[in-house]
Chain A
Amino acid sequence: MHTSVQHKMASIDLEKVRVVVVGDSGVGKSSLVHLICRGHPNPSPGWTIGAAVDVKIHEYKEGTPAQKSYFVECWDISGSVNHANSRHIFYNPVNGIILVHDLTNRKSHTNLRLWLSEVLNRESAYGSTKTRSSASEYDPEQFAGTRIPVLVIGTKHDQLDSSRQGTLQTSVIAEECGADEINLDCTQARHVAPGSTNAVKLSRFFDKVIERRFFSRDSSQQPIGSPTEKRRSFTPQYMKSLHTD
């Protein structure tokens, strides 16, 4: 009883990390964020204007003595082309990126590169008229320099023809970033049920984000472009081996 009273009196005592959910318009980012943060599907998703935020309490290193609760803020950014000139204010700061694409539409997967470069170029976008199409293509070295964890999620798995379901290839972008990949259907709660593979991957991703934000202070002080950074950029697998389960 004592601890619950303490919880009620302290308002926001958990630390937070910020995850940005980007992808083309209509791929299902809002449904995805709703599913991740609330645990059940959204019966009537609407069209996102600007950004919609939702929060989830994530247990870092669950099941170990070092377990701690963190707030994970999921910022669901509108993918509409008309709103491209004002999106950049949401990209600062970013601790984790979730790239969402539609499995029934291959172009939304190819556009993920542009999305990644848009988020990573956020500093230069302030006050300029650079749109997504004119921004430079995603640069692997630049990405390795910033070392923000990335997760690639493919939605609308149920709407694929059965022939294509069997021949799904791993995402090229996920391989380049050293990111995990999840394919699911946002209208089914069982796809992120605790204990399922997807839930494990999600929780691993959030752990990586929290670790990169709070526990890698010493290594993040290195300037971008130093020799050690450049060496690391050629071995993206290095990032995966950093994280031990």
Chain B
Amino acid sequence: MAFFLDSFVMFTTQILFFLGGWIFFMRQLFKNYEVRHVIVQLVFSATFALSCTLFELIIFEILGVLNTNSRLFHWKFDLYAILFILIVILPFYVAWFIFTNIRIVQNRHLTFPLTLGAWLVFVYFFWKLGDPFPILSRKHGIFSMEQVMSRIGVIGVTIIAVLSGFGAVNCPYTYMAYFVRDVSDADIQAHDRKLLQVMDMILTKKKRILLIERDQLQQASSNRKQASGIWGMLKSVATSSGGANLGQLQQEVAGYEELSRQLFLELVDLNSTKERIEYSKTLKGKYFNIMGYVFSMYCLWKIVICTINIIFDRVGKTDPVTKGVEIAVHWLGIEFDVTFWSQHVSFILVGIIIVTSIRGLLIKLTKFFYTMSSSKSSNVIVLLLAQTMGMYFVSSVLLMRMNMPPQYRMIITEVLGDLQFNFYHRWFDVIFLISALSSIAFHYLAHKQTGEKPVYT
């Protein structure tokens, strides 16, 4: 009886998440496109719903809601469902849409076998992915959960680490007012004028080209009417000089067009900086500025910790919650009920991590989608984004194990199978460090380049 009640609760929340994913898809992602294949929307929302359910189950684990057995059942059910979507359904539909978009495949009947072939190739490479990594021992079978989970874990952890590394460096750079160059209205207006002047130059030259071409046409038509002779030779000399002029003009036009593009991009940059300055003067902007400082401290600390972990070859054994409690009890001498507080604190901590990671990922996906997609490729890109999202969330469950006290880790260990969790944490540290350092280098180079440009006069 309790099992059915629990399942009812679970399914209700799953439907709520499904609707959330559906609305996000319609309002944000596909804002500018028409939905022609509902299957894309269905699969995306299903992936989103299943990922959120996984997080929900972690929260329930900490709070002790629902019966243990039903929780275990739902864990397994969810995990199998999401793995099925990630490995079977999504790659299949990605290949399907690619093949229907490419015009080479004329025969409609060929699409299905081709898609099946592509899916088999994907499965083969997915399998091969596990070879270079010391993921698991030989005693596991071929089709066990561990095999699949380990490979997804590798891909997902890489994605998480790259995004975290980049975000850790980008966040203070975006939010802190220290990095913002000073831009005045006069700068922007001067830049505007320069851009419009260049556009006028382009127009003048193109008009000149048109007039010369028109003259050449008139010359050619009148040449056919008149006899050749002295006048004919003189006229042909005149038109040939016009032709040389034409080539030079076209080259100049190409140069000016390139200049106009560059000026426009600089103008966009100036306007964005001005918007940022105005935003930082508002209350919300000030709040984010302070958060930027706090967050940059946290990012620095994280980078240092990662370096220490790699150098001294240690993997964090205790989670932050228990460690915090230990520090509070031993050094500060505060007496409180450890088990009670650790449960609530870990709930809040894990909750914050989950919410920020979901929100952060969705925002990044939306931005990426807007930049890359066109009306033809929108379906394929959305499915790829759904795949990234699924792998990301599944691997965050894996990594979250480290942030929870031991009594809650059990269920994850039990469900995900016997994986080498330490390997994944080490892999995360390495990729995070590489990503953070390369984004620091990237920002430094980009900043240096714009700094060297002359002040906008």
List the interface of chain A (C-beta within 8 A of B): 1, 4, 7-8, 11-12, 14, 16, 24-26, 49-57, 71, 73, 81-83, 85-86, 89-90, 102, 104-108, 111, 127, 129
Contacts and interface: CB of A to CB of B under 8 A. Distances in A.
B313 interface: no
25 contacts: A4-B215, A4-B218, A4-B219, A4-B222, A7-B214, A12-B207, A16-B207, A26-B374, A49-B264, A50-B260, A50-B261, A50-B264, A50-B265, A53-B206, A55-B203, A55-B210, A73-B203, A83-B264, A83-B268, A102-B375, A105-B32, A105-B33, A105-B34, A107-B30, A127-B185
Contacts of B257: 52
A245 to B, nearest CB: 26
B206 A55 contact: yes
B209 to A, nearest CB: 8
A7 B219 CA distance: 12
Interface string B204-218: 101110111011001
Contacts of B211: 7, 11-12
Contact of A107 (B32, B214, B268): B32
Contacts, number: 94
Interface in B188-214: 188, 192, 195-196, 199, 202-204, 206-208, 210-212, 214
Nearest to A11: B208
B440 to A, nearest CB: 24
A55 B206 CA distance: 7
A1 to B, nearest CB: 7
B278 interface: yes
B374 A54 contact: no
A148 to B, nearest CB: 20
B32 A108 contact: yes
B370 interface: yes
B242 interface: yes
A49 B267 CA distance: 12
Nearest to B264: A50
B interface: dominant SS: helix
Contact of B375 (A4, A26, A52, A53): A26
A230 to B, nearest CB: 35
A8 B242 contact: yes
A57 to B, nearest CB: 6
Interface string B223-253: 0000000010001001000100000000000
Interface of B: 30-34, 185, 188, 192, 195-196, 199, 202-204, 206-208, 210-212, 214-215, 218-219, 222, 231, 235, 238, 242, 257, 260-261, 263-265, 267-268, 271-272, 275, 278, 370-371, 374-375
Given A11-B208, A12-B204, A107-B33, A89 B196 contact: yes
A81 B370 contact: yes
Contacts of B206: 53-55
Contact of A57 (B33, B214, B219, B275): B214
Contacts of A81: 370
A30 to B, nearest CB: 12
Given A71-B210, A104-B34, 12 more contacts: A49-B265, A50-B195, A50-B261, A51-B199, A53-B199, A53-B206, A55-B207, A57-B210, A82-B268, A102-B375, A105-B33, A129-B278
Contacts of B192: 89
Contacts of A129: 275, 278
A53 B203 contact: yes
Contact of B264 (A1, A71, A86, A105): A86
A158 B441 CA distance: 47
Contacts of B272: 85
Contacts of B199: 51, 53, 90
* 4 cross-chain pairs, A with B, having the tightest CB-CB distances, nearest first: A50-B264, A85-B271, A49-B261, A26-B374
A181 B261 CA distance: 31
B375 A104 contact: yes
Contacts of B374: 25-26
Nearest to B239: A4
B194 to A, nearest CB: 11
B207 A71 contact: yes
B379 to A, nearest CB: 12
Contacts of B204: 12
Choose among A7, A8, A14 the residue with the greatest number of B CB atoms under 10 Å from its CB.
A8
A53 B195 CA distance: 13
Nearest to B377: A26
Given A53-B202, A57-B214, A86 B32 contact: no
A156 to B, nearest CB: 8
Contacts of B188: 127
Nearest to A8: B215
Contacts of A71: 207, 210
B431 to A, nearest CB: 28
A92 to B, nearest CB: 9
Contacts of B33: 105, 107
Nearest to A69: B214
Contact of B371 (A7, A73, A82, A111): A82
A25 B204 CA distance: 27
Contacts of A1: 222, 231, 235
Contacts of A107: 30-34
A69 B199 CA distance: 22
Contacts of A83: 264, 268
B215 A86 contact: no
A73 B203 CA distance: 8
Contact of B34 (A55, A82, A106, A127): A106
Nearest to A49: B261
A33 to B, nearest CB: 12
Choose among B34, B275, B375 the residue with the greatest number of A CB atoms under 10 Å from its CB.
B375
A71 B211 CA distance: 10
Contacts of B278: 129
A61 to B, nearest CB: 18
Given A26-B375, A55-B203, A86-B267, A111 B32 contact: yes
A147 B339 CA distance: 74
Nearest to B263: A50
A77 to B, nearest CB: 10
Nearest to B278: A129
Contacts of A51: 199, 260, 264
A139 to B, nearest CB: 22
A16 B371 CA distance: 35
Contacts of B260: 50-51
